């Protein structure tokens, strides 16, 4: 039976030049299945094309450079082979009528010397994050103290993102999302819990936002701002992140991103589930809505009624669904029909078993 209470979620949306068929976005999800050379898996075209009924797909986080690597079996977009592997994905998604952005990623301090020829991972400051990394042989080790980037290395970071944006274009992506959340490099610069620099990239909020904004400006210059999104997680504490004033910090960033005219701001601020923002923490998303005139995409714990309500109330234009899309390739159709959802198989999210396909491309579709 059709679910008639989801009119907002199912209405089309014009994102820059792109016509999205609905407001349901597949959130970026690392699946740890990339193959030798950090190439998207041969089954990735199938996996993403299966989910092409999303209004927009955002790819799993994809490294802009070798320096940006922090995990085994994650894809990059800085070599010709990587671009070719992604081209197979974008072709498959487009053939299935979908729209797909690449999420551009530099992990910063959430890494290990093993990925960097024995050199330390880089970060704004020599402050250790919290978390583990998987290295060769699947061994899990805690992250260590990184090396603080010199001021004269900053243009190179911007160049890494600029080149990755060009490569994303070559690979046939419709646009890119800059990964500015979850405790990775750009988030490490922005928040004062991880940035204690004394140069023009640390200290005041405008200084801490400088690198993220330089990156966004460079990427927008390559692709056109309307093909660029930026993801933030103002209250996410993942990887030991914190900030003394998230409302002020992220409102400043959002207002500056607005001046660049980027297409959307993706705000990961969970409203339900285990990660739900505690009642004592002030949500930042409403502040960002006020200063950012492009699309606001909300994420974290949304189901169909919550997503519908957020769009109806004017809090969001788009809703990103993570786990629901992972486990339900035909999520929009299931929501439309009010059909039950598949049960997510958590162990295979990031750790494939002997067969990469399991938990990847074998979630069933509804019978026709
Ligand atoms: C398996 C998995 C991998 C993820 N990888 C990424 C990632 O690569 N980039 C990112 O920004 N967020 C990543 N996330 C976070 C999701 O984008 C999303 O914020 C989270 O799943 C909450 O949304 P949900 O409640 O709809 O699942 C990942 C989440 C999961 C479950």
pLDDT bucket at 2, cuts 50 / 70 / 90: low
Per residue in 10-45, pLDDT (tens digit) is 999 999 999 999 999 999 999 999 999 999 999 999
Find out whether 40 and 81 touch, Cβ atoms under 8 Å: no
Ligand 1 neighbour 321 (Cβ under 6 A)? yes
The H or E element containing residue 218 is helix 210-223
pLDDT bucket at 85, cuts 50 / 70 / 90: very high
Q: Where are the alpha helices (DSSP H) in 10-106?
A: 44-50, 80-95
User: Given this model, what pLDDT does residue 139 score?
Assistant: 86
Report the C-alpha gap between 22 and 280 in whole angstroms: 33
% of the chain surpassing 90 pLDDT = 95
Q: Which residues contact 163 (CB under 8 A, 6 or more apart)?
A: 64, 65, 78
Residue nearest to atom 13 of ligand 1 (CA): 29
Distance 351 CA to ligand 1 centre (A): 15
Report the C-alpha gap between 220 and 52 in whole angstroms: 25
Q: What single-letter DSSP state applies at residue 275?
A: T
Radius of gyration of the chain (CA): 19
User: Given this model, what pLDDT does residue 4 score?
Assistant: 62
| pLDDT above 70 for 74 | yes
Report the C-alpha gap between 294 and 227 in whole angstroms: 12
Which one, of 348, 340, 346, 347, lies nearest residue 364 by Cα?
Answer: 340
For Cα atoms 90, 65, 208, give the angle at the middle one, nearest 5 degrees: 110
Average pLDDT on 46-67 reads: 98
Find out whether 194 and 125 touch, Cβ atoms under 8 Å: yes
Q: Tell me the best of 23, 25, 28, 324 to mutate to test the pocket of ligand 1, counting ligand atoms within 8 Å of each CB and taking the most.
A: 28
Residue nearest to atom 11 of ligand 1 (CA): 28
Structure tokens at 333: 């159709």
Residue nearest to atom 28 of ligand 1 (CA): 29
In b/e form, how buried is each residue of 270-288, taking b as 16+ CB within 10 angstroms? bbeeebebeeeeebbbebb
Structure tokens at 354: 């002997």
Residue nearest to atom 22 of ligand 1 (CA): 300
Per residue in 93-123, pLDDT (tens digit) is 999 999 999 999 999 999 999 999 999 999 9
Report the C-alpha gap between 131 and 14 in whole angstroms: 38
Sequence ranges of the domains in the chain: 13-348
User: Given this model, what pLDDT does residue 324 score?
Assistant: 98
Distances (CA, A) of 323 to 31, 88, 273, 344, 349: 12, 24, 11, 7, 9
Report the C-alpha gap between 359 and 350 in whole angstroms: 10
**How do 139-142 and 295-299 pair as beta strands?**
unpaired
Ligand 1 neighbour 75 (Cβ under 6 A)? no
**How do 132-135 and 139-142 pair as beta strands?**
antiparallel
Structure tokens at 95: 């053939």
Residue 299 φ then ψ, to 5°: -150, 150
* 3-class secondary-structure state, position 337: helix
User: Given this model, what pLDDT does residue 1 score?
Assistant: 46
Find out whether 155 and 174 touch, Cβ atoms under 8 Å: no
pLDDT bucket at 368, cuts 50 / 70 / 90: confident
Average pLDDT on 135-141 reads: 84
Dihedral sign computed on CA atoms, order 163, 168, 174, 175: negative
User: Given this model, what pLDDT does residue 136 score?
Assistant: 80
Per residue in 262-283, pLDDT (tens digit) is 999 999 999 999 899 999 999 9
Per the document, the length of the chain is 368
Q: Which CATH code is given to the segment(s) 13-348?
A: 3.20.20.70
Ligand 1 neighbour 298 (Cβ under 6 A)? no
**Catalytic positions, please?**
184
Q: Tell me the best of 29, 104, 177, 335 to mutate to test the pocket of ligand 1, counting ligand atoms within 8 Å of each CB and taking the most.
A: 29
Ligand 1 neighbour 16 (Cβ under 6 A)? no
């Amino acid at each position: 039976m059709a679910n008639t209470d989801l009119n907002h979620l199912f209405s089309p949306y014009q994102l820059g030049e792109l016509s999205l068929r609905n407001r349901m976005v597949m959130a970026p999800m690392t699946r740890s299945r990339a193959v030798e050379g950090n190439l998207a898996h041969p089954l990735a075209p199938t996996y993403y094309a299966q989910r092409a009924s999303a209004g927009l797909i955002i790819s799993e986080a994809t490294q802009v450079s070798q320096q940006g690597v922090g995990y085994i079996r994650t894809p990059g977009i800085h070599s010709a082979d990587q671009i070719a592997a992604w081209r197979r994905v974008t072709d498959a998604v487009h053939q299935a009528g979908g729209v797909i952005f690449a999420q551009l990623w530099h992990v910063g301090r959430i890494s290990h010397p093993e990925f960097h020829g024995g050199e330390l991972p880089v970060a704004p400051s020599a402050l250790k994050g919290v978390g583990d990394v998987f290295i060769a042989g699947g061994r899990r080790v805690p992250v260590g103290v990184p090396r603080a980037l010199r001021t004269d290395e900053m243009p190179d970071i911007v160049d890494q993102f600029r080149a990755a944006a060009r490569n994303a274009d070559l690979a046939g992506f419709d646009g890119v999302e800059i990964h500015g959340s979850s405790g990775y490099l750009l988030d490490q610069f922005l928040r004062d819990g991880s940035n204690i620099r004394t140069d023009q990239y640390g200290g005041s909020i405008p200084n801490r936002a400088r690198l993220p904004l330089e990156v966004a400006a460079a990427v927008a210059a390559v692709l056109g701002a309307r093909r660029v999104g930026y993801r933030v997680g103002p209250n996410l504490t993942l990887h030991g992140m914190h900030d003394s004033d998230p409302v002020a910090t992220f409102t400043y960033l959002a207002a500056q991103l607005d001046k660049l005219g980027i297409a959307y701001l993706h705000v990961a601020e969970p409203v339900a589930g285990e990660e739900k923002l505690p009642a004592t923490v002030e949500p930042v998303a409403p502040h960002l809505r006020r200063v950012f005139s492009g699309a606001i995409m909300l994420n974290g714990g949304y189901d169909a009624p919550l997503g519908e309500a957020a769009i109806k109330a004017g809090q969001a234009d788009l809703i990103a669904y993570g786990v629901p899309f992972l486990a339900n390739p035909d999520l929009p159709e299931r929501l439309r029909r009010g059909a039950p959802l598949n049960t997510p198989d958590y162990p295979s999210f990031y750790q494939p078993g002997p067969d990469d396909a399991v938990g990847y491309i074998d979630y069933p579709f509804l019978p026709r």
